[in-house]
Amino acid sequence: MKIGSVELDNITVLAPLAGITNLPFRLLAKEAGCALVCSEMVSANGLIHGSKKSYELLASRPEEKPLSVQIFGSDPTIMAEAAVQVAASGADIIDINLGCPVKKVLKAGAGVALMQTPAKVEAIIQTVRKAVSIPVTIKMRTGWDASGSQALRIAEIAQDNGVDAVTLHPRTAAQGFGGKADWSLIATVKKHVSIPVIGNGDIVEIEDAIKMQAETGCDAVMIGRAAIGQPWIFSQVLALLKGDEASPPELAQRFEVMTRYLQDSITFFGEKRACRILRSHLGWFVKGLPFSSRFRESLTQISSQDEALTLINAYKEKLRSQTPEDVDGH
């Protein structure tokens, strides 16, 4: 599959997730075989006004490429200026957010609020497309009602104005992240446009990724919340696509991934800040394992890498002392 000039190795894409898809997490997804990783959404206004926090979100490493950076905003000129900065930072793809349902974003007229004003969407796409030479994509929702008419209109505008691919999360603005995603709308959009369509929403089990592509004909599958704490989901999906068995990770692999995430986070954020973040994030990787709640509780006060490693190793040894029946299958 190609998105403009960017060729992807397979059909798996990591969704942009605020507070989650930072550089250390993206590296794990990429290592697991994810074809395209996406940044957290970056404020166009923040970039234009020199926000340190916004610039930090552009940090990348060669081994995660290709990288898509998602920007949000409502002013066409500012979005174009931000896109230029993103392209200059080394991103391979610029993604325009038309789907975020968070109140703060909606209040600023950005995210899914833009789907109510197709003319403004068109102006944003046109200015961004003219400003950069790298591929441009959009990520949108169903719209403000369940009919999907807004999604079809926006997909059409995107195609007509040089967008290289569209991602559809088929939930309405009001649904937020609740209810059920209407995959049939992905199929409708796919039939409606000739540019690549990426499906997103309700990929919970690895089989869901295969099912979504089979049911909708989408060109790629974007995985978001299901990848939190289990970046190996990408290698499992790829195994199924090849007709192989998608084996769950062995205990040793879980702990290797967790330890690498710890080390990369400390390298990227610095020890003090990383430990604050990791007090909740490290617990992602042990979901479903015996004594995991006790382990998560022990992490809530960590303040150094050594402290975190001591807790991780102690938990690993505790699990190793259990019978295989206690640990396998989780």
- Please list the active-site residues: 100
Q: Which residues contact 135 (CB under 8 A, 6 or more apart)?
A: 3, 4, 5, 6, 92, 93, 94, 164, 165
For 212-228, give one letter per residue: b (16+ CB within 10 A) or e: bbeebebbbbbbbebbb
- From the list 53, 29, 27, the residue with the least C-alpha distance to 41 is 53
81 — phi, psi (to 5°)? -65, -40
For residue 16, is the peptide bond before it cis, meaning its omega torsion is within 30 degrees of 0?
no
Measure Cα distances from 101 to 72, 115, 178, 183 in Å: 12, 11, 11, 19
Per-position DSSP letters for 61-98, written without gaps between them:
-GGG-SEEEEEE-S-HHHHHHHHHHHHHTT-SEEEEEE
Instruction: Report the length, in residues, of the chain.
Output: 330
Q: Which residues contact 216 (CB under 8 A, 6 or more apart)?
A: 183, 184, 186, 187, 190, 197, 199
In the block, tokens 């403000």 appear at: 144
Residue 25 near residue 18, CB atoms below 8 Å: no
Element (H, E) at 174: none
